[in-house]
Amino acid sequence: MSTRDFLVEIGTEELPPKSLPALSAAFSEGILAGLAAAGIRHGKVERYAAPRRLALLVRRVAEHQLDQQIKRKGPPVSASFTPDGQPTRAASAFAESCGTTLAALGRITEPKGEFLFHTGVKAGAATITLLEGIVTASLDKLPIAKRMRWGSGTAEFVRPVHWIVLLYGREIVPATILGITASDRTRGHRFMAPKEIRLSSPASYAGRLEKAGRVIADFARRRELIREGVTRLATEHGGRAIIGDALLDEVTALVEWPSPIAGRFEERFLALPREVLIATLQDHQRYFPVEDAGSQLTSLFITVANIVSRAPDEVRRGNERVVRPRLADAAFFWDQDCRTPLAARREQLKAVTFQAQLGSYFAKSERVRALALELAPRVGAAATDAGRAAELAKCDLLTGLVGEFPELQGTMGAYYARHDGEAAAVATALGEQYLPRYAGDALPATPTGTALALADKLDTIVGAFAIGQKPTGAKDPFAVRRATLGVLRIVLERRLELDVPALVAGAMEAIRADLTAQAATRTDGKPPAALPDSAVVGREVYDYAFERLRAYYLEAGEGISTEMFDAVLDRRPGSPLDFDARLRALGAFLALPDAAALSGANKRIANILRKANHTPAAAVRAELFEGPEERALAEAIAALTPGVEALLAERDYAAALKQLATLRPAVDAFFDKVMVMAEDPAVRANRLTLLGSMQRLFLEIADLSRLPG
């Protein structure tokens, strides 16, 4: 089959830099999905993304769709012909819609009767006639929060569109997309090569654009060139550039022809906290900070221009002029903030709303303090430090620097606390309270920080559920998903023995008290809302938290299956650490040769007991045994029970399951020789009680009947 390369380029005003990678990926996925849905084969795909363009080059695109096999069921034969054998309108209309004659139709017999049936082949359409629709559909599905219009047209896109390239081989695809007629003309760098550039073929796109247009269209290549240039320039000045992935992506999305330039700011600004300097340089200016061999920040920074200037010194001085007032503002805020101790700001938190129903940040800090005091002895923290840290935790929200740099909340609290002479444990905890902020982030390293981080997250999680604001797939205003994963990571990775239902109950008690107090002070005359049911909220939080735990294990790729997780979850352990011990013990058990048979036996026992709806007796009665197999199983269970119960008390679940695995011969013999549902009611009930006694030992760890097999 003949093939040609296909190129599509959407030329725009400067695209949102933080959205560019996602837009490029979604555009590519949409085009490829459209080709697949149309049955058009193709080869390698090359994505391009720059500030003023989204482009895709698809190699070896087939010139026609694959032929489509057509199978259509028509009306029943009974409705297709009159009693004298003449075709009805239903039959002839079906034949016409299939493009064939009535005589050429076949028949198919199904349980509901005999029907007319058509099979045929539809020749694939020419690919060039389908490309406009495929591109348009992909653009319509791009993840654009708010589309804009421009000029007098009705087209909408993330930014105004100025040109569109659609080339199929050397042929321009006849199409009008977003109000623009497709052509073979692209545009180069806005300033260094503003003229139109004609493309002779899709394969020439990247090379032609770079040589004639001074645009490096390949995002990944441009990103690496920036990394290399910034690194080299920093090294030439005796330093090491701090290159974060997020900043590198953003700068790559801002420039088409990167040109790194070094600049300096006044050394007096080095007295500012490191995080403030980095936030000013990176977040406000998109500059790369530079540190020395001792990891201390220097006054050097590197910016990446989007042009090769004839006067680079002027560009450097311009960037230095721009950053100076930013740093001066930061220095002013730092100086002003340090004049007022954190503790003196606490009363002002009463005027800052955390959430309308949950009250102020002062109220939240009081709830967090109570939880932190409860958690402190369990995580090895001093109660006085945990309480003080909770009191001061949100005070830095009222400082000028955090107002300017919201991402520094907590971090600046730690600086201010040290400046105020607070205990070292308290200051460090303020900086750790929001950890972990994202997947893979560091955990709180100190006991006080751990207590504060857990307390703050638990209050947020329980509060959201208490007021009916639990997260959904598309909405999570309190970042409950992140907070929940944070709690689970801290507990599991720090090996903390904490009972989730008990902690949730404690948090819920404080929240109910605040909701009650708030209702008592209402003056609008409206009846107070019903208080949330603590038991219901407790179940919802437990279910949500342990569903997040499921994802934690499955994503870790440690051989934990969803069936294993469900087997343990069925027992609803309160402690994530206990849950972890059960799950890992179950994994070790399933590696034993007897595990599959015992899992199958547990499934069989669960089915028997459920169908029998049996209420177990207090004990198995030996005098009702009718054969040696049931006596042998009873004796084996009785012999194992004390040792297994002792192991369960020590949470040595692996050893307990290993002991229970020795029951297999007795279990196999029992099911081979014994009819559980005996005719004698007493014998039947005794056998059900015997099976129930064995099932209970396994259920102390996990419900093996939930496992496959």
d(CA 123, CA 104): 19
pLDDT of 82 > 90? The answer is: no
pLDDT of 121 reads 77
Residue 463 CB burial class (10 angstroms; 0-12, 13-18, ≥19)? buried
Category of 214 on φ-ψ map: left (φ > 0), alpha (ψ -120 to 50) or beta = left
| Banded model confidence at residue 525, pLDDT cuts 50, 70, 90 | low
d(CA 467, CA 359): 12
Phi, psi of 169 (to 5 degrees): 65, -130
| Nearest residue to 309 (alpha-carbon basis) of 264, 265, 255, 266 | 255
**Between 447 and 107, the higher pLDDT residue:** 447
**Between 123 and 375, the higher pLDDT residue:** 375
pLDDT of 596 reads 85
pLDDT of 11 > 90? The answer is: yes
Most confident of 83-92, 232-241, 637-646: 232-241
**Residue whose entry in the numeric block shows the structure tokens 């007319």:** 116
Most confident of 56-70, 345-359, 622-636: 345-359
Q: Count how many residues are written for the chain.
A: 709
Domain extent listing, the chain: 3-65+127-213, 69-121, 219-338, 342-556, 584-706
Mean local confidence (pLDDT), 200-210: 96
Mean local confidence (pLDDT), 81-88: 87
Span 306-325, pLDDT tens digits:
999 889 899 999 999 999 99
Q: Which two tokens stand for residue 27?
A: 């555009």
pLDDT of 68 > 80? The answer is: no
pLDDT of 573 reads 93
Span 234-263, pLDDT tens digits:
999 999 999 999 999 999 999 999 999 999
H or E element: which one contains 247?
Answer: helix 245-252
**Residue whose entry in the numeric block shows the structure tokens 């555009």:** 27
pLDDT of 528 reads 59
| Listed range (4-8, 301-305, 631-635) with the worst mean pLDDT | 631-635
Phi, psi of 194 (to 5 degrees): -75, -10
Within 13 Å, how many C-alpha atoms sit on residue 507's CB side?
28
Average pLDDT, the chain: 92
**Residue whose entry in the numeric block shows the structure tokens 């042929």:** 171
DSSP for 540-587?
Answer: HHHHHHHHHHHHHHHHHTSS--HHHHHHHHTT--S-HHHHHHHHHHHH
**Between 106 and 330, the higher pLDDT residue:** 330
Span 666-688, pLDDT tens digits:
988 988 888 888 888 888 888 88
**Between 357 and 375, the higher pLDDT residue:** 375
Mean local confidence (pLDDT), 268-278: 96
Mean local confidence (pLDDT), 462-489: 91
pLDDT of 123 > 90? The answer is: no
User: How many angstroms from the chain centroid is the CA of residue 323?
Assistant: 35
Cβ proximity of 187 and 162 under 8 Å:
yes
pLDDT of 347 > 70? The answer is: yes
Q: Which two tokens stand for residue 679?
A: 């005719």
pLDDT of 221 > 80? The answer is: yes
Span 18-43, pLDDT tens digits:
999 999 999 999 999 999 999 999 99
pLDDT of 104 reads 84
CATH numeric code, 3-65+127-213: 3.30.70.260
| Banded model confidence at residue 354, pLDDT cuts 50, 70, 90 | very high
All residues at 6 or more sequence positions from 664 whose CB lies less than 8 Å from its CB, including other chains: 594, 597, 598, 601
pLDDT of 415 > 90? The answer is: yes
